[in-house]
Amino acid sequence: MTAADHNGSLSGRAIIHAIKAAGVEYVVSVPDIVTSDGLLWPISRDADLTHIRVCKEDEGVSICTALAYCGKRALLLIQNTGFLDSINAIRAIAVEYDNPLCMMIGLQGKEPDVLPIQSDKVSVRIVEPMLDVMGIAYHLLQTTANTDAIAPAIEAAYRDDHPVCFVIGRSPSE
Amino acid sequence: MKRMKRDAALKVIARHAGDSLVVAAYQAAFEWIVIRPSDCNLIATGAMGQASSHGLGLAIGRPDRKVLVLDGDGSLLMNLGSLVTIAEAAPANFFHFVCNNGVYEANGSHPTPGSDTVDFPGLALAAGYGSADAFDNLPDLESRIGDVLGGQGPSLIDLRVEQGEAYPQDYAYMHGAEHRAAFKAALRASGTGTAASDGAHGSRQPPRGRATTR
């Protein structure tokens, strides 16, 4: 993806449709301003999804994993800072234990028209390299067209027992 | 402070555990898998502090099964917010034991912060757990544990313990794929847990505010 591909909007409704299509029943979250209006508030009101609020993101890593042990699919919806704070739990529980942790990360502070790796913000710029170094597959969601990747990626994560991450590059519309 | 031998306390709990799913952390985990060997034990919680959160996920995902967490005091201190998250979710099938020895036993037995003062039952009740108990002797634990486990969660049980017999510390098994695969297979062989006929999750009751020290 190039910076030119960043034009357009990102539909929260399309994201929610995609995670439901992938069989996700639970969304575990710590609020993030990037995804608050377009994703988290609608999810919290959605009767088809069970929303679990956690105090800290690494709790969510464990809750999603334990739900997977039970044959239930979950999404961990967090902010980039929470991802960075949870690296050790993600490293151990998702990466070393080969568990299908599905994360969606809002890039708080990202400039609208640049790629995350080109951001002036360290907390934005290092997210994708951190995922790379941990060997976690990820997909940048910058426009609604990108949401086509969500359901197949979640299906693959649960089929093959590996984590996957969706990086939210701009605030989704409702 | 009066304390029980940890393995002796775990043996009491094992007699009342039935087919419960059990998530155990570190030293208690090594002892538990010898005391109650079962594929329904999960000791692979990855990062310190995460036993309680694994237990919550299991309790939500399998409302038809009782979930026992055998936490450590140092571990719970590393994830104290989980008390609030668990209370909010209010799983009636969730029983949270804390093996409280006042030290980081796996890391040189240095004291935990607040080891002389921290009140885990008080913290749990303040977070919104329905009940909390503390035990420092085996006869009281033996006589009361059946009632505690027969009640409604989320419930915290503070076990004032000290190291007992030495048990093998098999970290390769703890972190190995074979253990996790056996746990997943045992869960899936016992159903999907979709029938929450007992209303085990999402049926939050007003806290009973019961805290006792035995």
pLDDT at residue A115, rounded to an integer? 95
Domains and CATH numbers, chain B: 1-48+65-112+123-160 (3.40.50.970)
pTM of the predicted structure, to 2 decimals: 0.93
Q: What is the pLDDT of residue A154?
A: 98
Percent of residues in chain B assigned helix, strand, coil, to nearest 5: 40, 20, 40
Q: Does B81 touch chain A (CB under 8 A)?
A: yes
Mean pLDDT of A49-62: 98
Contact B19/A at CB under 8 A: no
CATH of A3-168, picked from 3.40.30.10, 3.40.1180.10, 3.40.50.970, 3.40.50.1970, is: 3.40.50.970
Q: Which tens digits make up the pLDDT trace of B149-185?
A: 999 999 999 999 999 999 999 999 999 999 999 999 9
State the average pLDDT for chain B: 91
Does position B196 have pLDDT exceeding 50, yes or no?
A: no
Q: Which of A150-159, B31-40, B55-64, B102-111 has the lowest mean pLDDT?
A: B102-111
Put simply, whether A135 touches B (Cβ < 8 Å) is no
Higher pLDDT pick, B109 / B54: B54
Of B44, B60, B89, the CB nearest to A97: B44
Reported as type and span, the H/E element at residue B126 is helix B120-127
Buried b (16+ CB within 10 A) or exposed e, B149-185: beebbbbbbbbbbbbeeebeeeeeebbeeebbebbbe
A13 CB near a chain B CB, below 8 Å?
no
Position A112 scores a pLDDT of 79
Q: Are B32 and B164 in contact (CB under 8 A)?
A: no
CA nearest to B181 within chain A: A69
**At B128, which amino acid appears?**
G
Residue A7 — very low, low, confident or very high, per pLDDT cuts 50/70/90?
low
Confidence tier at B107 by pLDDT (50, 70, 90): confident
Residue A6's pLDDT is what? 53
Q: What is the model's pLDDT at position A43? A: 98
B193 at A interface, C-beta within 8 A: yes
Q: How far apart are CA B61 and CA B55, in angstroms?
A: 10
The ipTM value here is 0.95
Contacts of A88 in chain B (CB under 8 A): 47
A66 inside 8 A of chain B by CB: yes
Q: Delimit the domains of chain A by residue range.
A: 3-168
Q: Is the pLDDT of residue A158 over 80?
A: yes
Average pLDDT over residues A2-20: 80
Mean pLDDT in residue range A6-23? 91
Average pLDDT over residues B95-106: 94
**Could you give the CA distance from residue B68 to residue B9 in angstroms, rounded to a whole number?**
14
Three-state secondary structure string covering A25-52? EEEEECCCCCCHHHHHHHHHCCCCCEEE
Partners of B50 on chain A (C-beta within 8 Å) are 58-59, 61-62, 89, 93
Q: How far are the Cα atoms of A2, A140, B154 from residue A132, in angstroms, in the given order?
A: 18, 13, 39
Collect all residues of chain A within an 8 Å Cβ-Cβ radius of residue B183.
Answer: 69
What letter represents residue B114's amino acid? G
Confidence of residue B212 (pLDDT cuts 50, 70, 90): low
